[in-house]
């Protein structure tokens, strides 16, 4: 079902019905020692408008998460991430990214892991849920699979693209995710009845504040169809710039100005 060469990631049982990106990062612990390292993730997601949520376990008792407001072609760094190494030469970290919003057809996802302490490598997998029969007991089996994303190279470096079946989650589902985090925060060990994870209540409250702020911004941001078309034409011009003469570039811009200035 999972099409992975390893065990299912720990978060899957909670996030099966969300479109999500599974990032597996491997750190080369050449010194073979236990310690906590710092790392960051550079993200540039061209052609996406909405919110990006990430979540991971820096150690076996702790869950960290945050939410970012993402505009078209924005690039930023997810910093102050940490991970507890164990005493093996290869340490693996599972991190999930959940998009809430809208993808354009020709999107590009640039991602880079940065650590001053250790070398790292990573793999990306995309999950698109089957919602058709999730509440119905049926003889029909929906055979979903994690799809590994293969890097594509261009002049800016390697990037990734999702298939047409991968979409952003509806923004309203963010509150379902918050409720899910509350449930996780309440989970206890079946043997000794102690909390399974360190308390997350303060982080959840911060997430609620961010969610209210960002969702308010999204629902009050209205971009006309003409403006979207202009941006799409400018993006086409950007991708063709190397094959055009100066005169052709000016003509392209003149055509844009003349066409849209004459519209009501």
Q: Is the pLDDT of residue 58 over 80?
A: yes
pLDDT at residue 150 in the model:
92
Mean pLDDT over 201-210 rounds to 93
State the Cα–Cα distance between residues 117 and 40, nearest whole angstrom. Answer: 11
Contact 23, 94 (CB under 8 A): yes
State the Cα–Cα distance between residues 206 and 139, nearest whole angstrom. Answer: 43
Mean pLDDT over 236-246 rounds to 80
Q: Is the pLDDT of residue 39 over 90?
A: yes
* pLDDT tens-digit map of 91-150: 889 999 999 998 887 889 999 999 887 888 899 999 998 755 445 554 444 557 899 999
Contact 120, 25 (CB under 8 A): yes
- CA distances in angstroms from 78 to 68, 101, 227, listed in the order given: 9, 19, 30
Q: Is the pLDDT of residue 263 over 70?
A: no
pLDDT at residue 141 in the model:
47
Backbone angles phi, psi at 203, to 5 degrees: -70, -35
Mean pLDDT over 159-186 rounds to 91
Of the spans 62-71, 98-107, 224-233, which averages the highest pLDDT? 62-71
pTM of the model: 0.77
More confident residue, 242 or 225: 242
Percent of the chain, pLDDT > 70?
Answer: 86
């Amino acid at each position: 079902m999972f099409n992975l060469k390893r065990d299912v990631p720990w978060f899957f049982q909670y996030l099966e019905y969300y479109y999500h990106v599974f990032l597996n990062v491997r750190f080369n612990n050449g010194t073979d020692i236990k310690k906590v390292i710092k790392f960051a993730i550079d993200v540039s997601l061209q052609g996406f408008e909405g919110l990006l949520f990430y979540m991971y376990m820096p150690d076996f008792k702790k869950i960290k998460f945050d939410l970012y407001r993402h505009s078209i072609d924005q690039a930023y760094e997810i910093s102050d991430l940490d991970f507890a190494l164990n005493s093996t030469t290869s340490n693996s970290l599972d991190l999930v990214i959940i998009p809430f919003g809208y993808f354009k057809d020709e999107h590009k996802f640039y991602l880079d892991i940065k650590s001053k302490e250790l070398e790292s490598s990573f793999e990306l997998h995309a999950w698109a849920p089957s919602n058709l029969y999730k509440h119905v007991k049926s003889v029909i089996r929906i055979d979903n699979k994690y799809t590994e994303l293969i890097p594509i190279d261009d002049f800016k470096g390697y990037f990734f693209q999702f298939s047409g079946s991968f979409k952003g989650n509806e923004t309203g589902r963010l509150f379902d995710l918050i409720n899910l985090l509350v449930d996780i925060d309440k989970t206890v060990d079946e043997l000794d009845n102690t909390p399974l994870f360190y308390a997350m209540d303060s982080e959840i409250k911060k997430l609620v504040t961010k969610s209210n702020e960002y969702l308010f911004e999204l629902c009050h941001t209205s971009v006309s169809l003409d403006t979207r078309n202009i941006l799409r034409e400018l993006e086409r011009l950007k991708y063709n710039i190397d094959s055009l003469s100066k005169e052709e570039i000016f003509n392209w811009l003149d055509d844009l100005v003349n066409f849209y200035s004459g519209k009501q």
